Every structure is written in C-alpha cells, then in structure tokens.
Structure 1
Amino acid sequence: MARSIVIFDGDCGLCNGFVAWLIRHDTDASFLIIGSAGEVGRSALSAMGLEPEVAASTLVVATVHGPRVRSDAVAEVLSGLGWPWRAGAIVRWAPRGLRDRVYDAVARRRPRSPSEDPACGNPPRELIATWRSRLASQGDIDALVDAQPSPRG
C-alpha cells in the first residue's frame, strides 16, 4: 500500500522539528518524509500538481487523494497517528480560513537554518537512522500516484 509523503522545508527549524516529532510518534511508519529542495521532493510536488515554491513556506502531505497543504496537512498527519494524537484532527471542524490564518501566523515566525542536506533536512542525532529509513524515493512517489483513483470520465 502506498504511504503518504510529508514534504517539508529542510531549511526550516520548525518543519524539521515537526518531522522529528512525527518520526517519534508515527510508530507504524505510516508516513514517509522528504525535503522539498531535493530532486525527489520536487518530483513529489510536481506529481501532486504543485509548484516547488509552495513547500518553501507550507507543509505538504502527498496522499492517494491528492495534496493536503497548510492546516489540512497537519490534520492529515494527526489523523494518521495513534491515540491521543489522532484526536488533534478535530481541528478540521474549524473553518479552513481560520485554521490557515493560524497556520500562516506560526509560519511567519518560524526559524530558518541552512541544512546540510536540502533533500531531507537536519535530523536530530538520535533519529538519524530512522529519519533516513523514512525518506521517500521516486518509487514511493510513483506508487502513490498509481494508487490514486482514476478520474471519472
């Protein structure tokens, strides 16, 4: 089964922290990760019909049902985790405009730091092996696209 792919800005301290948090709490390895600046990250964005620039300021989750961005991406991740994190997906009940304004306010204040590897960000030392094992490949993107329902014609 194709796994959703979290596409993030590897130069963003907040994004790297979120991905580290995700790896620690995604015990079933439901999500793969990829930095937006690398070739595979750009390919994933393109496969979802998104411009590469979107991930410079927005978290994206590529799913079999298409891309989820901003607060929808956060809710997608939360809904894919176990309890108690899954309960956080309740944020979807709030109007998207309100959720995205909060998301944007946080994103404007995020710390940016150059990463050594733009394809995957800076993993904390204790997560390096797990982080690397969760990196999406072009094959993972192809599997995700292949698993998408075909458009009705």
Structure 2
Amino acid sequence: MNKKRAVKLSILTGIILILGTIGMLGVKKMTEPTEKEKQIAFLKKHENEMTDFIKTQDDKISKVDYDWSTLHDEVVGNGLPQGGDHILTLRIKVIDYNDTDINSFGFAIIPDNINAPVKIIDMYTINADYNYSKGDI
C-alpha cells in the first residue's frame, strides 16, 4: 500500500513540476516585448537624430510629432531577385515656429537589422511636400 502511494505521489509531483514549468515559460513569453515594441523603443531612442534630419529639410520646421501607431516594416526594392531593403515607416507631422501644423507625410528609416535594430543606416521622407502653399510661415 505504501509503495502504491509513493508511486502516485511521485507521478503527481512530476505532473505538477511539468505543468509549473510550462506555465512559467508561458508567462516569460507573454512578458517579452513584441517585435513592434522593440522597433518603437529603438526609434524613440533615436528620436532626436530623426528630428534633426527632418528639420534639415526645411528651415520652417521647428517640431516633429511621430505617430507611433502607424509604424510598420516593409520591404522596398526594385524588383531584382536579391530583394530590397527592410525599412520602418511611420507618419509624421511637422510643425512651424508658430506651433502651426504645416504638413504631414511618411518617414522611412533603414535600420541595420529590422528584428533587432541597433543603429540607423539611412532615413528619408516619403511624399513630403515642402511647398506649404500657406505663404511664408
């Protein structure tokens, strides 16, 4: 009788340990940031560099607002078999020295590694129109 009880207790303990380990792995996986969260954190770390670049496009720009919810990565290429660059794109709004919204357009960043970016390789504006048609702001 004691032997059966010991075997049942051992099996029960083993099952509890296995389920506990699986549960811990699930919790660890849930607490890891997503790829998009890592990319946003990377871009926020480089926000001053990006803002400085955008401000060089026109002397009327005093402030840049980033719409982080629009961030996505995409592959941009010229149709050749070797593919293209992985880029991160998002919408930005530029504001003048009078705190007036003067334009909104896309912004692209080419990081060194799309999944675990460390540094910016290149960046450029997308469909930016610097002729504001509001006159001299």
Q: TM-score range by the shorter chain?
A: under 0.3
Structure having the higher strand fraction is: 2
Structure number with bigger Rg: 2
Structure having the higher helix fraction is: 1
Structure with the bigger RCO (C-alpha within 8 Å, sep 6+) is 1
TM-score, length of structure 2 as denominator length: 0.24
